[in-house]
């Protein structure tokens, strides 16, 4: 039972000693930066794509550009709005056809409602494309924004790492 922890400690010490020897070699690759598992998973999900590629993807299918950029939540919101708007366009069209067949007085109201849902559908496509375009441009922008409550108001701080300083 006690040999397992001893082997783990010996293996760790041996690996640490070998990495120290490798650090003396000038041709050895630098060790990877130490990050938390959550940060490593978030970085692996994020990928860079060109802004116009993200724009066209999200214009074609809302949320696709965001998904390629690793922005799953915003992509899911655009897909959800798309599904809602598309479902309401279909529902309103079916209802409008029915009311037209019975010569109801609600036809004008339903035509306006149908047009409103079509406008929301088109706006969702455009907003999704624009958001993907901007997100692609700001892909490597640091997200370290902190908000603090102060006695006389609030304060926001954004830390920007400047290479070489």
> What's the pLDDT at 71?
86
Distance CA 36, CA 58 (A): 31
Q: pTM of this prediction?
A: 0.58
Q: Evaluate if residue 14 carries a pLDDT over 50.
A: no
Is the confidence at residue 72, as pLDDT, over 50? Answer: yes
pLDDT above 50 (res 17): no
Q: Across all residues in the chain, what is the average pLDDT?
A: 75
∠ CA(90), CA(93), CA(98), 5° rounding? 130
Residue 83 confidence (pLDDT): 95
Query: Token digits for 4?
Result: 């397992």
Give CA separation, 140 vs 54, 128, 156, in Å: 15, 19, 20
Band of residue 131 on the pLDDT scale cut at 50, 70, 90: very high
In 3D space, the residue among 133, 121, 110 whose CA is nearest the CA of residue 52 turns out to be 133
């Amino acid at each position: 039972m006690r040999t397992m922890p001893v082997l783990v400690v010996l293996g760790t010490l041996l690996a640490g000693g070998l990495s120290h020897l490798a650090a003396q070699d000038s041709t050895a690759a630098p060790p990877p930066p130490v990050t938390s598992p959550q940060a490593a998973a978030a970085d692996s999900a994020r990928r860079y794509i060109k802004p116009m590629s993200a724009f066209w993807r999200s214009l074609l299918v809302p949320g696709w550009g965001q998904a390629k950029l690793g922005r799953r939540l915003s992509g899911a919101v655009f897909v959800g709005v798309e599904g809602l708007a598309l479902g309401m366009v279909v529902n309103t069209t079916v209802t409008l056809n029915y009311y037209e067949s019975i010569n109801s007085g609600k036809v004008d109201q339903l035509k306006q409602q149908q047009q409103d849902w079509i406008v929301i559908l088109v706006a969702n496509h455009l907003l999704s494309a624009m958001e993907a375009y901007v997100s692609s441009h700001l892909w490597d922008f640091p997200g370290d924004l902190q908000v603090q409550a102060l006695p006389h108001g609030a304060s926001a701080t954004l830390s920007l790492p400047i290479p070489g300083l």
